[in-house]
Amino acid sequence: MKKRNANNHNHTLHYDAEYEGFALHTANAPYILPYVDRLHTVMERVLQNHKRVLAVKFDLHLPAHRNPYLQRNPITEFIERVKAGIASYQNSLNRRSKRVYPTEVEYVAKVEQTEECELEHYHVVLFTNKDTLYPVGNLSHEDPTKLGQIIRRAWLKTHGLSADSPVALLHTSKPVFRVLQGPLSTDDPVHRDAFLHFSYLCKEGTTKYQGKRQSFYSSNAKNKAPA
- The pairing of strands 106-112 and 121-129 is antiparallel
**The predicted structure's pLDDT at residue 24:** 98
Q: What's the CA gap between 64 and 69, in Å, rounded?
A: 15
- The pairing of strands 8-14 and 31-32 is antiparallel
R_g of the chain, CA atoms, integer Å: 17
Under the banding of pLDDT at 50, 70 and 90, the label for residue 115 is low
Under the banding of pLDDT at 50, 70 and 90, the label for residue 227 is very low
Average pLDDT over residues 150-154: 98
**The predicted structure's pLDDT at residue 5:** 63
Average pLDDT over residues 145-159: 97
**The predicted structure's pLDDT at residue 207:** 79
- Nearest residue to 168 via CA among 142, 140, 193, 192: 140
**The predicted structure's pLDDT at residue 226:** 44
Average pLDDT over residues 156-172: 94
**The predicted structure's pLDDT at residue 108:** 97
Mean pLDDT, rounded, of the chain: 90
% residues pLDDT > 90 (the chain): 77
pLDDT in tens, 66-82: 777 777 889 999 999 99
pLDDT in tens, 26-52: 999 999 999 999 999 999 999 999 999
**HSE (CB half, 13 Å, CA atoms) of 64?**
2
pLDDT in tens, 21-31: 999 999 999 99
Under the banding of pLDDT at 50, 70 and 90, the label for residue 215 is confident
**The predicted structure's pLDDT at residue 119:** 78
Q: Per-residue pLDDT for 211 more than 90? A: no
**The predicted structure's pLDDT at residue 210:** 66
Q: 164 near 140, Cβ under 8 Å?
A: no
Burial of 220 (0-12, 13-18, 19+ CB in 10 A): middle
Q: Per-residue pLDDT for 11 more than 60? A: yes
**The predicted structure's pLDDT at residue 65:** 82
